[in-house]
């Protein structure tokens, strides 16, 4: 059997980092893609294989042919993990996949209402050879999800209160995933991944102001106003409910603690927020 790694979400924020880090380590990567357009976004040498969550366990076993490891992440729009993600976990077990690295979330062990908690519990129940990565908030949230408001209005609009967050660069998560796939000793382990700095959103706004050369402010909306804002944008209720839970965790400062896990696992320090902003200025540059 070819010892390839099957990567879900390979064209997304974290998935791209995982794929690139695995290629750097000389690993063969097979990416699950929904259509041919997604396959065109993959790096040279990466096979795009038709795949969708919710397929039958038997179909998914065929999809995993030629692989012995799996990178699993939950698409944000999927709340029903029992019917959408569990069949892939079962298929990996049936094929005797030797490791599944699951992109979970920080604090999941304390928040039983999240879909990530259900996935972790299921993998433990079936004794899957898991590795759980529990990252803090992605720096890329600011360059993707919240980029338009920052770019067009100069405002960071999230209900984080006066809390602090130890943001992590998604590319660092990719490097950690590649390490856990290619070095021994990481099965049945869970790693909380944070940056090495704990920053308030006011500090984040100041850093962006200095780098971009124009004022960026933190609006600090209430939870009620933020959820109404999401509803006005047409976001689905499942997404709104998850956002509500996430930012309650943030306001309790459960995302505030920095750590050196990225450095310890990869030998390279985590990316600083200033470095991230400097390297991604185009995401917040107004269109002329």
Q: What are phi and psi of 252, to 5 degrees?
A: -80, 0
Distances (CA, A) of 250 to 119, 182, 215, 223: 22, 33, 24, 12
The pairing of beta strand 199-200 with beta strand 164-165: antiparallel
* H or E stretch covering 7: strand 4-7
Q: Could you give the count of Cα atoms lying within 13 Å of 71 in the half-sphere of its Cβ?
A: 33
Q: Could you state, in order of their start, the residue ranges of all structural domains in the chain?
A: 4-135+169-193+257-267
Distances (CA, A) of 249 to 38, 183, 242, 243: 33, 32, 11, 10
Distances (CA, A) of 155 to 27, 34, 133, 224, 275: 41, 34, 30, 18, 20
Report the C-alpha gap between 240 and 247 in whole angstroms. 11
For residues 168 and 135, the answer to whether their CB atoms sit within 8 Å is yes
pTM tops 0.85, yes or no: yes
pLDDT along the chain (288 residues), means of 10: 88 96 97 90 94 94 97 89 96 97 90 88 97 97 95 96 97 98 97 97 98 96 96 90 86 93 98 97 88
Nearest 10 degrees: Cα torsion 192, 198, 203, 204:
-20
Nearest 10 degrees: Cα torsion 213, 256, 157, 208:
10
Report the C-alpha gap between 123 and 40 in whole angstroms. 32
What confidence score (pLDDT) does residue 2 get? 63
For residues 262 and 175, the answer to whether their CB atoms sit within 8 Å is yes
Q: What are phi and psi of 212, to 5 degrees?
A: -90, -15
Tens digit of each residue's pLDDT (9 = 90 or more) over 174-218:
999 999 999 999 999 999 999 999 999 999 999 999 999 999 999
What confidence score (pLDDT) does residue 268 get? 97
Is the CATH code 3.40.50.720 the one for domain 4-135+169-193+257-267? yes
Q: Could you give the count of Cα atoms lying within 13 Å of 172 in the half-sphere of its Cβ?
A: 32
Report the C-alpha gap between 238 and 241 in whole angstroms. 5
């Amino acid at each position: 059997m070819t010892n390839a790694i099957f990567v879900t979400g390979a064209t997304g924020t974290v998935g791209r980092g995982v794929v690139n880090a695995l290629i750097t380590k000389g690993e063969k990567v097979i990416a699950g893609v929904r259509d041919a357009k997604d396959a065109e976004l993959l790096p040279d040498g990466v096979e795009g294989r038709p795949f969708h969550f919710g397929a039958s366990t038997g179909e998914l076993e065929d999809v995993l042919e030629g692989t012995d490891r799996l990178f699993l992440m939950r698409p944000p729009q999927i709340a029903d993990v029992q019917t959408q993600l569990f069949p892939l976990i079962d298929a990996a077990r049936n094929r005797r996949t030797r490791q599944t690295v699951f992109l979970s979330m920080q604090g999941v062990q304390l928040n039983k209402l999240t879909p990530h908690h259900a996935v972790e519990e299921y993998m433990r129940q079936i004794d899957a050879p898991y590795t759980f990565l529990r990252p803090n908030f992605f720096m890329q949230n600011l360059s993707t999800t919240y980029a338009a408001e920052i770019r067009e209005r100069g405002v960071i609009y999230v209900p984080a209160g006066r809390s602090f967050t130890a943001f992590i660069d998604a590319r660092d998560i990719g490097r950690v995933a590649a390490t856990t796939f290619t070095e021994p000793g990481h099965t049945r382990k869970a790693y909380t991944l944070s940056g090495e700095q704990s920053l308030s959103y006011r500090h984040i706004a100041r850093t962006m102001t200095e780098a971009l050369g124009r004022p960026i402010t933190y609006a600090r909306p209430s939870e009620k106003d933020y959820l109404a804002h999401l509803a006005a944008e047409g976001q689905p209720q499942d997404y709104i409910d998850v956002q509500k839970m996430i930012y309650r965790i943030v306001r309790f400062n459960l995302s505030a603690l920095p750590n050196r896990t990225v450095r310890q696992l990869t030998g390279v320090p985590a990316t600083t927020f200033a470095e991230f902003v400097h390297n991604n200025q185009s995401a917040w540059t107004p269109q002329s």
